[in-house]
Amino acid sequence: MNIVKFYQKGTYTVGNRLVSEAERTTQSSPERTNSITCGHRACQGCGEALGARYAIDSAMKATDNQLIAVNATGCLEVFTTPYPETSWQIPWIHSLFGNAAAVATGVAAAQRVRGHANVRVIAQGGDGGTTDIGFGCLSGMFERNDDVLYICYDNQAYMNTGVQRSSATPPTARTATTPSLGPEPGNVFGTGKNVPLIAMAHNIPYVATAAVADLRDLEAKVTKAMSIHGARYIHILVPCPLGWGSAAHDTVRVARLAVESGIFPLFEAEHGVVTHSTAIRRRVPVDDYLLPQRRFAHLFKNGKPVDGRVARLQAMADENIRRYNLLRDEESDR
């Protein structure tokens, strides 16, 4: 992809008119499939609904509409299929909370054995269904290098059941099971799982992270993933206004601040090696990312950090920036 030097003031997004026809987003095309069509029951400002629509429409385009989706139990499953209605315009199955990767393995095996090699399979789940309860099946699918793209829509807690901590919940975040009470309010430091890195440790052909803030980057990664066979993993940050305590109209902004602060690095890896990271164009302090979210409200008083915890989060962001080389002169506005 060419580096686009111009972007819109305020939103910092790259308009389609600034790029060539071929580089325009799937979402901007009237030909997009609307794989998850209107009428679903997601909350206002739901990042997961946005992320899933972006990802699946791109995967549909990349596979010439020969796509089957497997869904873990969770918000995405519940809000898209209130019986007898469904928002899915593609073949779709939901089995259980913890087995989406394994069910997808079975669907992919059936395509091979039945001579439908052109039909591709994606599995998808939230962070709970991926990093916690579905982790065994996910690792098994990776290890066997089954021909499945697994997409994790990470909103950093069990939102469907009412915002409980998962192994993707960041330190200090308030959830229903890590309340902002006591001497160490919110989720503790030193816990959690980095599933993109664990996926890389399986030496699978493709791993990427993405966020709903950068549509073109997200679509490019899904498109690339669908050009590859074998086990693939994309981890998409999807803010949840309900669980994060952010404004519904701020979903894309909060996701962008996660990326621009370095808290959520965007990168790609092939066969266990990082091959590309998306540079931060306009770096912001983590405070900018934390302040719009009520789950971090206990970190601040009158806009100022109450103790050293914000500095610890800043150190985590700084470490991501160093590790993934996210500040590059030629791509950053400094």
Partner 1 sequence: MLKQTEGSHAVAEAVALCRPEVICAYPITPQTHIVEGLGELVKSGQLQNCEYINVESEFAALSVAIGASAAGARAYTATSSQGLLFMAEAVYNASGLGLPIVMTLGNRAIGAPINIWNDHSDAMALRDAGWIQLFAETNQEAVDLHIQAFRLAEILSCPVMVCVDGFILTHAVERIDVPEQAEVDAFLPAYEPIQVLDPKDPVSIGAMVGPEAFMEVRYLEHHKQMRALDLIPELAAEFKAMFGRESGGLVRPYRLEDAETVVVAMGSVNGTIKDVIDDRRAEGDKVGALSICSFRPFPLEEVRAHLLGVRRIVVLEKSLAVGLGGVLASHVRMALRGRAQLVYTLIAGLGGRPILKKSLSAFLSKVETEPHADVHFLDLKNDVVERELVRASQQRRSGPTAENVLKHIGSPMAGLV
Any contact of residue 90 with partner 1 (CB under 8 A)?
A: yes
Single-letter code of the amino acid located at 190: G
List the structure tokens of 117.
């090699």
Contact residues for 71 (Cβ-Cβ < 8 A; gap 6+): 77, 80, 92, 93, 94, 100, 123, 124, 125
- Eight-class DSSP state of 158: B
Closest by CA to 215, choosing from 9, 5, 11, is 11
User: Which range, of 51-59, 93-101, 210-218, 230-238, touches partner 1 by CB under 8 A?
Assistant: 93-101
Number of residues that bind partner 1 (CB under 8 A): 44
Cα(40)–Cα(77) distance, integer angstroms = 10
Question: Which one of 18, 43, 96, 228 is in contact with partner 1 (CB under 8 A)?
Answer: 96
Q: How far is the CB of 310 from partner 1 (least distance, A)?
A: 40
List the structure tokens of 144.
């066997």
Cα(137)–Cα(135) distance, integer angstroms = 6
List the structure tokens of 179.
């309340």
Cβ distance to partner 1 smaller for residue 94 or 256:
94
Q: How far is the CB of 136 from partner 1 (least distance, A)?
A: 6
Q: How many CB atoms are located within 10 Å of the residue 176 CB?
A: 13
Question: Which one of 84, 182, 183, 303 is in contact with partner 1 (CB under 8 A)?
Answer: 84
Q: How far is the CB of 79 from partner 1 (least distance, A)?
A: 9
Question: Which one of 113, 182, 304, 330 is in contact with partner 1 (CB under 8 A)?
Answer: 113
Question: Which one of 45, 51, 74, 98 is in contact with partner 1 (CB under 8 A)?
Answer: 98
Cβ distance to partner 1 smaller for residue 11 or 34:
34
51 with 218: CB under 8 angstroms?
yes
Binding site for partner 1 (CB under 8 A): 65-68, 70-71, 77-78, 81-84, 86, 88-96, 98-99, 102-114, 119, 136-137, 139-140, 143-144
